[in-house]
């Protein structure tokens, strides 16, 4: 779990339109990371 104030670990994520994002690619920009952990899981 990522805790408030800790550095963000390296990541590699795809957006809904297939674009890939990495921590290194977003370096120096303000980023808001919003997830839906239970989306599309049937839970």
Domain boundaries, given as residue ranges, for the chain: 1-43
Q: Which two tokens stand for residue 16?
A: 């809904």
- From first to last of the 43 residues of the chain, give the pLDDT tens digit: 778 888 888 989 888 899 999 999 999 998 887 777 766 666 5
Q: What DSSP string describes the chain?
A: -PPTTSPPPP-EEE-TTS-EEETGGGTTS-------TTTTS--
pTM, rounded to two decimals: 0.56
What is the spatial distance between Cα 28 and Cα 1, in angstroms, rounded to a whole number? 23
């Amino acid at each position: 779990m990522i805790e408030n104030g800790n550095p963000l670990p390296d990541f590699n994520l795809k957006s809904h339109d297939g674009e890939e994002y990495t921590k290194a690619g977003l370096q120096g920009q303000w980023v808001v990371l919003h997830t839906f952990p239970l989306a599309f899981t049937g839970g």
